[in-house]
Amino acid sequence: RQGPYQITVLEGTSVTMNCIYTFTQYPTLFWYVQYPNKALQLLHKETMENSKNFGARNIKDKNSPITKSSVQVSNSAMYYCIHCGANTGGSSYGKLTFGQGTFLTVHPNVQDPDPSVYQMRSPKTGRTVCLFTDFDSQADFQKPEGATVISLNSTVLDMKVMDSKSNGALTWNSETNIEFSTLNFKKIVFVSLFLLLDYSCDAKLIEKSFETDMDLNFYNLLVIGLRILLLKVIGFNLFMTLRLWSC
């Protein structure tokens, strides 16, 4: 028997998963981990050293817990304790008994969250896709109203250069199947929210409360073009200088 069945913590937290058993004659215990869409992987057994910084305590009082002092987002997975009964008739293992598993979910520790929403609309149909960003790991948000709303699991952007992390989630209506090539990115609406939890992705509400620069993409391309032109001028001057020196 394993416990608890589900654990949800922030990264950096210490986690302990218990493995309680009833058999007492020469018990052998294994810990396996199953990452999303992956096969079972051996995590720990009595004869091997600690794996992936997980350590299993010595068997005591019919409990062999496994502990990790500082979990990371990548440790989110299903963990199974496997008890192997003794086989007195030979050298092989006896009956294998699986625990029900412990599902570990590790959320990123987002510092100073600044909830925001990007809304992308098709100019032909008016259909929308909403991108929620920079919200707290423990926060939830309302899905856009519609017949059938699809929401992807939130993902984490790890910006190592800035030593920070950011959450992101995408929602859209399955009956409004927009191809990204048809989106008018000049009309992307950006809104900073005080409470993302109380926000509904509504184009009318956003447009009334915020005005954006429709030529933002044009200015970005202009800056990139000027930088390329500057590099060409510098390269040409350097080339001519070298030619003059060689004469």
* Domain ranges within the chain, ordered by starting residue: 2-107, 116-215
Which residues, 6 or more positions from 166, have their beta carbon under 8 angstroms from its beta carbon?
110, 133, 134, 156, 157, 159
Q: What is the largest distance, in Å, between two alpha-carbon atoms of the chain?
A: 93
Residue 136 is predicted with a pLDDT of: 62
Beta-bridge partners for 28: 84
Q: Give the type of residue at 220.
A: N
Report whether CATH 2.60.40 matches the domain 116-215.
yes
Place of tokens 């008994």: 97
CATH code that applies to domain 2-107: 2.60.40.10
pLDDT reported for residue 109: 75
What is the β-pairing status of strands 102-107 and 6-10? parallel
Cβ neighbours around 147 below 10 Å, total: 8
CA 154 to chain centre: 6
| pLDDT per residue rounded down to tens, the chain (247 residues) | 777 788 888 888 888 888 877 665 656 777 888 998 888 888 877 655 555 566 665 555 567 778 888 888 888 899 988 777 655 444 555 566 777 888 998 887 776 666 666 667 667 766 667 776 766 665 554 544 544 445 555 566 655 555 666 666 666 654 444 333 223 322 222 333 323 334 445 544 444 444 455 566 778 888 899 999 999 999 989 888 888 888 7
d(CA 102, CA 99): 9
Amino acid at 181: S
The reply to whether 116-215 shares the fold of 2-107 is: yes
Name the phi and psi angles at 74, rounded to 5: -70, -15
* Beta bridge partners of residue 117, listed in sequence order: 132, 191
Q: According to the model, what pLDDT value does residue 36 have?
A: 85
CB distance 143 to 102 below 8 Å: no
